[in-house]
Structure 1
Amino acid sequence: MRAVQIDKCVSMPGDTLRPTMLPRWTSRPSVPSKTPTRDPACSSCETPVTSWYKHNPFASHLLVGEIISINESVHAPIDLIFAQGRLALRPARASSKGPRPAIVFERARPIHPIGQQPLPPTTALLLTTYKKIHSSKLLPALLKDYFAVPVSPHCEVETCEFHLHVHPEWQEDNVWLIAYPITSFGAVHGRWSYVNRRGEAQKDLSFKIGDKALTMLSITCNERMQRWIRRCKEVQNHAQRCMDVYEVRMQLHRINSVLRLPTDIQR
């Protein structure tokens, strides 16, 4: 697992760093309900895609924008972000490497080895529920302020500056996309299957991100990384504090999930 190169802000001698603008989340007095919301200015919110995405069963590659099932740690992109800040790189925790949805990003990936060549790694963006954390207010600052993107249907669609729609609409509420692509060597188990009303996986139906959304997603990933880099330059020890908070928050939610305590309490 390694980082994907992302364009960075480069400051020249004499440049003045502008104060970093963090992602805009509409202020609310308390943690919002888990009920998904819609953005009235978003055409995809007004008319969500309901048609199925039927992939080519004879395709030789997993296409850019297709959502796949991959064995990768949800902490992998976070560890790499902190590593870019010259903090100690932690090996991605194996306990969280179960199959998870991810978007094939930047380049298509062969499904089977070509000739004698081994399968290449997968460039991907990971999706996660973060232990059912539905509100940005409960996320660590690194995610809330920089790298978390709501995937519709989501309770924070109307409160965030950017959200993502999938074709067709994702089948689980309040999922987050981590806006930092990684190159993963984790096993790929094919495309993420659509589940019918009987709870059966439809192997011929899956999910895909449209071309326009992919372009916006690429821009968003670059913008979020640039914000992070600028903020780390402006505020001393910002990366270290964010890493400490991330570790504490994730540990608290792991404890809560074991004890079955509610995780929707603002801390």
Structure 2
Amino acid sequence: MLYISLRQYEYVCAIGRHGSLSAAAQHLNVSQPALSNALTRVEEQLGYPLFARRRGAAMALTPQGRSFIEEAEALLASAARLENAAESGKGKARLRLGCFVDLAPFLLARALRQLRAVMPDVAVSYRVDSFEGLISGLIDGRIDLALTYGLSMDATFTRHTLFTSSPRALLSPDHPLAINSQVSLQDLAAHPLILSEEGLSAQHVLGLFRQIGESPTVAHRAASLEIQRSLAANNEGVAISYANPPAKVSYDGMSLLSLPVSDPFAAEPVVLARHGTGPTDAQIAVAERALINLVT
């Protein structure tokens, strides 16, 4: 008899991956009590703690917890493969594509169309996620390839640079910097910023300012690009984003300017990534070539 559900495995793995109940709850879009209850039930069933809990510190995995989560993530990956195989048809080959949330509106539909044209006999599915979600998905096999920025990927990943993206400053036409054709990070440092709520994205932008010795004020952390754009259009600060929709108005109809950030070191590559550095199987190699050709 199975005493631990797949959902409970998923919850415990998310806590281990994100280091806290609050971060895991935000990623999974569930309540913290639901995660806490699931963790308590799993630990009671196992008879030993998975995390060392210390007030004011991140939840650290115990040695037993680390081993448990490694096996649990392998179990979840196997379950996902079985589920997708059932959905795709018995014996049909499949490919799982991941895409970073801010890049998805620009690249995902074209990528799916390209893959289905080149690989008509392969069932292609996709997942839109944060940096952390994509990395963990690549590592545990739930994603074969990912379209993302190269942030936080170590030498265990194979990356193909598709193109280089430079950040844009999004601001109201009434903003003092609106008279410029471009702005520098030094120009922006004196004004309140609107950053993404996505952790690595915000850390990256703040890291750019640290490189020039500045620590700007953060006015807002927005849950989506369109919220960033709306706040900027309403003069709540300057949004900094690598994504640049062509629309010159926000969702609420306010005019919006998009100025290039002139600092060359701020450019960031958009990559096609997979986990592993050696040769891959023939199907993924075909998909890699198709997606590289998508933007060349």
TM range (shorter): under 0.3
TM-score by length of 1: 0.23
Report which structure shows greater RCO (CA 8 Å, sep ≥6): 1
TM-score by length of 2: 0.22
Asked which structure has the greater CA Rg, the reply is 2
